[in-house]
Structure 1
C-alpha cells in the first residue's frame, strides 16, 4: 500500500500498521473512535481523550518536545503528526527510522478527508464512513440552526504575552465563519501577534473569545484587554471544540449551538 500525506510525503506499507503513535491530541481521539485502540502504543501528555490512555499507553512527551529514544523503543509502524502541532524538526527526526503521516487541516472537508484516509490505511473504512456521515448530519442540522442568526464581529485569542489570535487559513477561523462570527483578524494569516491597544482600530469586535487552550485564560486577562475595547463582551470557550479536528466535530456542533444562543441572549459564561 502506498499513501501520500498532506505535505506530500510518500508512505509505503506491506501490511496494515499495527504499532501506532499519535503526537496530536485530536488525532488520538479520532483513532480511538475508529476502533484501533489496541494498536496504539504511544501518545503525548496532552492526549487527554480518552481519559484512560494516560494509564494504558506510553507517554512519549508533548507535541513540541518528544522523547525520541522512547519512541524508538516502542518500534512504531507509523507516527501521526500535524503541521501546526508538531515541528518540522520532530518530523525529520522520526522519518529517520519510521513512517510519518503529517496532516494539515484548515477546513471541515480536510478533516473528513483525513478520517477517510485513516479508514483506508488502518482497515477501518466502515468506522470512518460512519464518523463522516455523523459529521455531515450534524453539519446540515447546524447550518439550519445558524441560518437566521446575525453576523457578529469577533476576535479569538489563543495566547498571552504576547497576545496571539487565530487568523485566516486556520481550522479555528473556518469554524468561526461557520458560526457566523466575522473574525476581525481574518486579513492576517495563521496565529499572529497583535497589539491589544489597537483592537478598536483593528475592527472593534463585539465578542472576545478566550480559548481554554493552548493558553488557560482567566478573568484577569479579559479585564486587561477590556480597557481597549468599546463594546466587547468576553466569552471563555472550550478550545477543544474550536480547534480539535477529526471526530471531535460530532460533539462540537451541539456546543456551538449553546455558545451562539448564550451570546445572542446576553447570558454569562
Structure 2
C-alpha cells in the first residue's frame, strides 16, 4: 500500500475506474470478477495499490476493453521502481509541481500558450529568478533556490538524447515585458531565438494587432500522452496547479489550441518580431 500516490499513479487508477464504469460494473461486481476484495479494487482505482502490466491486461480483459492501444499505454504506466529526479524535492515543494515534472518526463509532446510570461520551459535562470522574487506570497531565499533549480531541471526534457517535441504560443505582451530589466529581458529573448532553432521546438507569437482571441488571458499547458485518452491539460491557478483529463475537457482544449494557432504568427514571422523587440530594448 502506498502513502500519497503521484499524479501518474492517480491517473492510472482513474483510467481503470473509467474502464470499469464503461463495462457497466460496480466495484463489488468487479471484485467478484477479478477474484479480489472490493477494497482492493477501490485502492487500485485510487492509486494506492499498484498493479503489474500483466495484472492490468487481465483487468482489461475482464472489463471487455478491446482498445489495444489504450491498454498498452496503461500497461506502460504501471509502477516503475526507479525514482524520478523530482522525488528529491518531495519535502521541499508542493506535490503538484512534482506531478507536473513527472507528466513532462513521460509526455509524447508538449504545447503551451501564455499571455503575460515566457513559458517556464523556455525561461532563462535570471528571468525565472525574477518571477519567483515577485511571487504573491513572498518566498524565503532557500525556497526561491529550490523552485529555481526545479524549474531548470524540468527543462531537461528539451535537451535529452530524444528530446520531447515542444510548441509554444506566446503573446507579444510577454515578449515586451522587461522582467528583470533590459539586460535580463534581452538575454531571455535571445534564448527564445536560440531555442526556436532546434528542430523539436516550435515558437509562435500572437501580436497586439490580433486583439481578443479564444483563450486570451489564460495560460494553458497541454501534455500529449501515448494515446489521446491519456492527454492532460494543466492550468495555473491561484491555489496551485489544476490537472484536467476528462474527455470533454480534453476536447475543449484541443479545439481551443487549434483556434489560437489560426491567429498566431508563423515561426519565421515570430523570430522577426523577437528581433524587433530586442532592437527596441
TM-score (norm 1): 0.24
TM-score (norm 2): 0.23
Structure with more of its chain in helix, by fraction: 2
